[in-house]
Structure 1
Amino acid sequence: MNLREISRLLYQIKLTNQEINTLFEKETGFSLTRYEMLMFLKDKGTCSQNQIQTELKIDSAAITRHLKILEQKGYVIRERNAENNREVFVQLSDKAIQDLEACGKKHDQGKSSLSLSLSDEEAEQLSILLNKLYLQS
């Protein structure tokens, strides 16, 4: 592939990413990043802010901004570690658990326009290709 072909492909990925993120947030009420943060907490339980940052590969300033917004909306509870004041623990609130469940039910019942026009096999292939690109960088 020449540089121009690579540029076009990457730009196409960028535009697709923007459209999908906008649609996801419109349908769910959550940005994709914040949704992934909430789902990580749902899966793992109470975690340190650093664990979330490492898992989602987000810089420390961004993770702090996202968590502040989620806390203001009542979705997470942040508490400083009493033994190490620099460490912050994060957990889901009951409101977050209820809203995530409602969001999932809405999608599962087909009441959401958020669907990828990909078969399960195509989605798996796309995931493999994206991982290949990600690991290459």
Structure 2
Amino acid sequence: MRRNCSEKGKIIYQLNDIYKFMSPKFEQCTGLSQSRMDLLHVLFEVDEINQSALREEISIDHAAITRHLKQLEEKGMVARRKNPEDNRVTFVRLTKQGRDQIDSFKSEKQQFIDRVLKDFSEDEISDLSDKLTRIQQNVTNIN
């Protein structure tokens, strides 16, 4: 099918292939999925956050955030507590261990990024970023 595609069609296949291949390689290098890394970075920026607000911030579904937080809690990286005034609300924060581990994750993430963008000039990176931003906007605007 790809051989019969237009250049525009090939770009869509390439973007999809990059995503499929990059996600497991990112996880292999960092030990965390991109979703978990995003979640940890948001938590790093705040003292504590409502679980629903965190879910909205990183744009994942309710089941996924619950699963990620449960696994991160088991690893001692995050702590959750119920709001004493409203038991339906859960607050999330990084533990000291989680905060300490963020630094090593940042380093591993940067190494991964450097390997992915190896041999790209700063101008090429800027140009690619601009084009990908336009694609993101176009996809977001599709009804």
TM-score, normalization by structure 1: 0.82
C-alpha separation in 2, matches of 1:121 and 1:131 = 15
Find the counterpart in structure 1 of residue 14 from structure 2.
Answer: 12
Question: Which of residues 55, 61, 64 is equivalent to 1:62?
Answer: 64
RMSD of equivalent CA atoms: 2.2
96-105 vs 56-65, greater mean Cα deviation: 96-105
Task: Count residues in correspondence.
Answer: 132
Once the two structures are superposed, the pairs formed by residues 23-102 of structure 1 within 5 Å of their partners are 23-102=25-104
- Give how far 1:73 is off: 1.5
Moved more, 13-22 or 119-128: 119-128
- Letter of the 2:41 counterpart: M
**CA offset at residue 31 of structure 1?**
0.8
User: What amino acid sits opposite 1:50 in the alignment?
Assistant: S
Q: Which runs of 4+ in 1 moved over 6 A?
A: none
Quote the residue 2:105 is aligned against: 103
CA contact (8 A) 2:29 2:108 kept: no
Q: CA deviation at 1:107?
A: 6.3
Q: Residue 127 of structure 1: CA displacement?
A: 2.7
SS at match of 1:74: coil
Segments of structure 1 that go 5 or more residues without pairing to the other structure are: none
- For 2:18 and 2:109, the matched residues in 1 are separated by 21
Describe the SS at the equivalent of 1:86: strand
Residue ranges of structure 2 left out of the alignment (5+ in a row):
none
Which one-letter code corresponds to 2:72 in the other structure?
L
Percent of residue pairs bearing the same amino acid type: 31
Q: Name the structure 2 match of 1:125.
A: 127
Distance in 2 between residues matched to 1:106 and 1:57, nearest whole Å:
23
Q: CA deviation at 1:106?
A: 5.5
